[in-house]
Amino acid sequence: MVEVHLWSGLRARAGGRESIEVEAETVGEMLDALVEACPELEEIIDGGVSVAVDGRVIASTRTEPVKPNSEVYLMQRIKGG
The contact set with other proteins (CB under 8 A) reads 5, 7-9, 12, 43-44, 47, 52, 54-61, 64, 71, 73-76, 78-81
Q: How far is the CB of 11 from other proteins (least distance, A)?
A: 9
Least distance in angstroms from the C-beta of 23 to other proteins: 21
Considering all CA atoms of the chain, what is the largest pairwise distance in Å, rounded to the nearest integer?
Answer: 36
Q: Are 58 and 52 in contact (CB under 8 A)?
A: yes
Q: Specify which residues 26 forms β-bridges with.
A: 65
Residue 60's CB is within 10 A of a number of other CB atoms, namely 12
Comparison of 13 and 32: residue with beta carbon closer to other proteins: 13
